[in-house]
A and B are shown apart, each in its own frame.
Chain A
């Protein structure tokens, strides 16, 4: 287990390093950053001044090393727009994105696992078809459009929920539904396949033959084993949700990190964008690392193989 953990940790570190390199290279993706910051009316001298001020005149590798080492210490540089440390702005916004992410994944899990179990209990029944329908519709519906439709229903036709802002828990209801629904199909399908597989196995037949009641067989014997891959999928989905929150947050004007990233992209405020990309990626890397460990701990075959 220790060897496996160290190996995983090393890979996770390499991935983080590569991601940071790509994130850093965003600075240069559109050409000279100094010209972009200076604006259109800038003279040659202004651009030269900005280049020196921000250190763009130094070798790129040194710029990267400095940026990376600072970022590792929680210093993401100065925002071009706010003229404040990026870290301060970001850490003020991050809890809202996290709250939204946790709410959404909880919603998704509490919707998809029962549906997946029910669908697997009676394949091809009405419930199975309903579950399939939900997942087919969920995969085809653009999330921003679903969000707008919910606004139309719950704020225009039946004005019962707020649509913009992040002041109270009610502001989180609609974003949670949209973001959570987005992750539902994948989790539900995996639960259903896992349950179908487990329910066909010998030890379930043994449990039934012993005369155990249905709910014990289902929840104590079957679900426990079927849910293992679901845990790692949920971790992955949580990471995707943080990334997807940018669309949802900007529609509902939830002042989270995704909204901040969207505003900053529009304002050409690159340090903030880079910080958000890096933080979201790191978060995903940590999550997958933990779920790998969890899987290896639960299933010894993974450790050895």
Chain B
């Protein structure tokens, strides 16, 4: 009954006021194709990583010498091993699922560590300027001059490859883009009137940084974080591929490509499957990052 009264020839409330900011945001999010596709793939990868122990058809470490290098089902394989088995007879699908855990873990952890370092440096440089800015800019230049793959390889090899080492080394190496972006974002925000107002009422510097600066640069931070997460995942895969990253028998996707390399002549699916998984994951993260940038700052699109 109420609906008939409300609609009797009169415009509805939202036609007069227009959609609320929340509705606008939701519309932008769900109307963004890249964000939806990327988000969808990422969600599937996430669920795959989280529920790997439950849904994986086999133990990813279980070797079976009798069924080595069995091709996937669409080549000539059977449904017991949908994606086939590797050179030690381990189920490829199960290894792929557990591999998602490794990639996502490394991506998140490395992006987090480098994010803390880079954001602290960038915000300090942008807010305080002067000497602090000079030192930070100098450190960024130094960091950019070092070939990251080579240094990461050398350090991981010297200390010994493991998940923790790879995460720490990547975390300590990938902060440059955070610092660059956070610095320039802070430089812009610093000149805003509300920062001056906060200073005028006597807010402490930490408080200004946390409650005035940070909320206004967090969008940029998220976008850089997705880029660096993708970067870290690719680097881990490259390190593991070169044999200086995560060590066997851990099911890292880069390692799987490396192990499949010996079968490149006749069993090229062995490198294709983990490669496609890596590609999809990184693509999804990049799409989500671009999407967040478009949705939060549509004017920044080129």
**Chain A interface residues (CB < 8 Å from chain B):** 11, 14-16, 18-19, 22, 26, 29-30, 136-137, 139-145, 148-149, 151-152, 156, 189, 192-193, 196, 236, 239-240, 242-244, 246-247, 250, 258, 261-262, 265-266, 268, 270, 273, 276-277, 280-281, 284-285, 288
**Chain A residues positioned under 8 Å from B272 (CB to CB):** 149
Contact check: which of A19, A141, A152, A265 meets B153 at CB < 8 Å? A265
Q: What would be 21 A-B contacts, judged by CB atoms less than 8 Å apart?
A: A11-B141, A19-B145, A19-B146, A29-B158, A140-B279, A142-B234, A144-B257, A145-B278, A149-B272, A152-B268, A156-B268, A193-B302, A239-B147, A242-B147, A244-B147, A250-B242, A262-B153, A265-B154, A281-B145, A281-B147, A284-B145
- Interface residues of chain A: helix, strand, loop or mixed (majority): helix
**Chain B residues positioned under 8 Å from A196 (CB to CB):** 302
Whether a CB of chain A sits under 8 angstroms from the CB of B252 is no
Known: A139-B286, A144-B237, A246-B147. 5 other contacts (CB 8 A): A15-B142, A30-B159, A149-B275, A156-B268, A281-B145
The CA-CA distance from A29 to B156 in the complex, in Å, is: 10
A261 and B150 in contact (CB under 8 A), knowing A142-B275, A145-B271? Answer: yes
Cβ of B149 and Cβ of A29 under 8 Å apart? no
The CA-CA distance from A140 to B146 in the complex, in Å, is: 23
The CA-CA distance from A268 to B157 in the complex, in Å, is: 8
Cβ of A26 and Cβ of B158 under 8 Å apart? yes
The CA-CA distance from A239 to B145 in the complex, in Å, is: 8
Cβ of B159 and Cβ of A152 under 8 Å apart? no
- Interface residues of chain B: helix, strand, loop or mixed (majority): helix
Contact check: which of A15, A30, A261 meets B141 at CB < 8 Å? A15
Contact check: which of B230, B264, B279 meets A152 at CB < 8 Å? B264
**Chain B residues positioned under 8 Å from A270 (CB to CB):** 158
Cβ of A148 and Cβ of B271 under 8 Å apart? yes
**Chain B residues positioned under 8 Å from A152 (CB to CB):** 264, 268, 271
Cβ of A18 and Cβ of B142 under 8 Å apart? yes
The CA-CA distance from A265 to B242 in the complex, in Å, is: 11
Cβ of A246 and Cβ of B302 under 8 Å apart? no
A145 and B302 in contact (CB under 8 A), knowing A152-B264, A284-B145? Answer: no
The CA-CA distance from A148 to B268 in the complex, in Å, is: 9
The CA-CA distance from A143 to B154 in the complex, in Å, is: 19
The CA-CA distance from A142 to B155 in the complex, in Å, is: 21
Whether a CB of chain A sits under 8 angstroms from the CB of B243 is yes
**Chain A residues positioned under 8 Å from B287 (CB to CB):** 136
Cβ of B254 and Cβ of A142 under 8 Å apart? yes
Cβ of B146 and Cβ of A277 under 8 Å apart? yes
**Chain A residues positioned under 8 Å from B106 (CB to CB):** none
**Chain B residues positioned under 8 Å from A29 (CB to CB):** 155, 158-159
* Residue interface bits B158-195, CB-to-A below 8 A is 1, else 0: 11100000000000000000000000000000000000
Cβ of A22 and Cβ of B155 under 8 Å apart? no
Whether a CB of chain A sits under 8 angstroms from the CB of B283 is yes
Contact check: which of B147, B155, B241, B282 meets A280 at CB < 8 Å? B147
Cβ of B155 and Cβ of A26 under 8 Å apart? yes
Cβ of B155 and Cβ of A284 under 8 Å apart? no
Contact check: which of B257, B282, B283 meets A148 at CB < 8 Å? B257
Whether a CB of chain A sits under 8 angstroms from the CB of B138 is yes
Cβ of B150 and Cβ of A246 under 8 Å apart? yes
Whether a CB of chain A sits under 8 angstroms from the CB of B136 is no
**Chain A residues positioned under 8 Å from B154 (CB to CB):** 26, 261, 265, 273, 277
**Chain A residues positioned under 8 Å from B229 (CB to CB):** none
A142 and B238 in contact (CB under 8 A), knowing A29-B155, A149-B275, A156-B264? Answer: yes
Whether a CB of chain A sits under 8 angstroms from the CB of B265 is yes
Cβ of B138 and Cβ of A247 under 8 Å apart? no
From A287, which residue of chain B is reached at the shortest CB distance?
B145
Cβ of A145 and Cβ of B142 under 8 Å apart? no
Whether a CB of chain A sits under 8 angstroms from the CB of B83 is no
**Chain B residues positioned under 8 Å from A281 (CB to CB):** 145-147
Shortest distance from the beta carbon of A84 to any chain B beta carbon, whole Å: 20
Whether a CB of chain A sits under 8 angstroms from the CB of B151 is yes
From B146, which residue of chain A is reached at the shortest CB distance?
A281
Cβ of B302 and Cβ of A192 under 8 Å apart? yes
Q: Which 9 A-B pairs have the closest CB atoms?
A: A243-B147, A145-B275, A140-B283, A30-B158, A140-B282, A280-B147, A281-B145, A265-B157, A18-B142
* Residue interface bits B216-259, CB-to-A below 8 A is 1, else 0: 00000000000000100010011001111000000000100100
**Chain B residues positioned under 8 Å from A240 (CB to CB):** 147
**Chain A residues positioned under 8 Å from B238 (CB to CB):** 142-144, 247
The CA-CA distance from A57 to B192 in the complex, in Å, is: 56
Cβ of A22 and Cβ of B138 under 8 Å apart? no
The CA-CA distance from A193 to B147 in the complex, in Å, is: 27
The CA-CA distance from A242 to B271 in the complex, in Å, is: 25
The CA-CA distance from A26 to B150 in the complex, in Å, is: 12
Shortest distance from the beta carbon of B134 to any chain A beta carbon, whole Å: 10
